Structure 1
Amino acid sequence: MSAKVENTLNQLKVLFLCGLSVMLIYAGRVVVKGAEINVGKAVSGMAILILVSLVSLKIKEILPLKIPAFAWASLISLLLTTPWCPIQELVLDLIGQIVTSDISDAIMAIAGISIGCKLGDIKKLSWKMVLVALVVFCGTFFGSTIISHVVLSIQGII
């Protein structure tokens, strides 16, 4: 098997495992909250997300531009969901079954596992990293608070 085919299969395996973890989180949310479930649409929506991710990874490999795969995925998704795209309604209906928080939960779990594997390296970074993390957390919190206050004020809610 060629190296390119093996690389594509490995990427597909990782994307499938990520999709499976998102679907497990989705199923857990449905069980806990008692929400109605449409398994067919949710699985089809996840298949679309996996396909878009795989295509964006391949575009990144093929083109000599230094544009990250995330940007290609965003562009492909934008094109698939614009009003003039013939399959826009279908794509939005299927992907709409998957809640964004389910995806972010899976990403955070994978990131936590990744960081946990490199705990020794993190210990070597010293106390300065704790200070940087606190500044980033506070900046994010206060930045979000300011944006929320401005938006709610404009809407007349507060």
Structure 2
Amino acid sequence: MLRNIQEWSLVLVIIGIITLVGNWIGYDVLPFQALPGMIVLILISLVGLILNKLIPLQIPAIAYISFIAIIVSMPGVPGSELVVKWTTDVNILAITTPVLAYAGVAIGGSWADFAKMGWKSIVVGMCVLTGTFLGSALIAEVILRMQGII
């Protein structure tokens, strides 16, 4: 377990550094300004990953991470104002670049396994991505219309 925590920490710190640089270049937010928010995001992710290993339920780690993030940012929770203030300085698109790059490297390491799945996996993947995009667009459209923004 300790080895996993060390590996997760290293990966999260590397992603955090790349995100800070991307946030600086793309969104003109100085790394020093966004550092507290990045530390909060790294700690939330690390705690979620640890809970995923400790709790014997078959729930994805992202569920734990999301749950923790929601709790620590809810109004009324001590310190939530600081969490929201700090994490606001980290642009979400700056985070996606290193995460997608890491995912690409992880998938790239197992091209042989991917090739064994055949062309059907590509079709399924494209359908999943298209459905996710269309579903997200539909939800956004409905919510924005309900709020009178569009």
Please classify the TM superposition score into its range, dividing by the shorter chain length: 0.7 to 0.9
Alignment of 1:97 onto 2:89: yes
1:115, distance to aligned residue in structure 2 (A): 1.9
Give the 5 Å matches for 1:45-124.
45-124=37-116
Task: Supply the distance in 2 between the matched residues of 1:156 and 1:83 (Cα, whole angstroms).
Answer: 25
TM-score by length of 1: 0.78
One-letter code aligned to 1:86: P
1:79-129: CA deviation from partner (whole Å, max 9, x where unpaired): 211111121111111111011111122211111122222223322322222
Change (3 A) 1:120 1:65: closer
Unaligned runs of 5+ in 2: none
CA contact (8 A) 2:20 2:31 kept: no
One-letter code aligned to 1:8: I
Of stretches 60-69 and 44-53 in structure 1, the one that deviates more from structure 2 is 60-69
Task: Supply the distance in 2 between the matched residues of 1:52 and 1:145 (Cα, whole angstroms).
Answer: 28
Change (3 A) 1:86 1:41: farther
One-letter code aligned to 2:14: L
TM-score by length of 2: 0.81
CA RMSD of aligned residues (A): 2.4
Task: Supply the distance in 2 between the matched residues of 1:157 and 1:6 (Cα, whole angstroms).
Answer: 48
State which of 6, 9, 15 in structure 2 corresponds to 1:9.
6
Of stretches 15-24 and 143-152 in structure 1, the one that deviates more from structure 2 is 143-152
**Equivalent pairs, count:** 150
Give the structure 1 partner of residue 118 of structure 2. Answer: 126
One-letter code aligned to 2:88: G
Q: Which has the larger radius of gyration?
A: 1
Task: Supply the distance in 1 between the matched residues of 2:9 and 2:32 (Cα, whole angstroms).
Answer: 20
CA contact (8 A) 2:24 2:30 kept: no
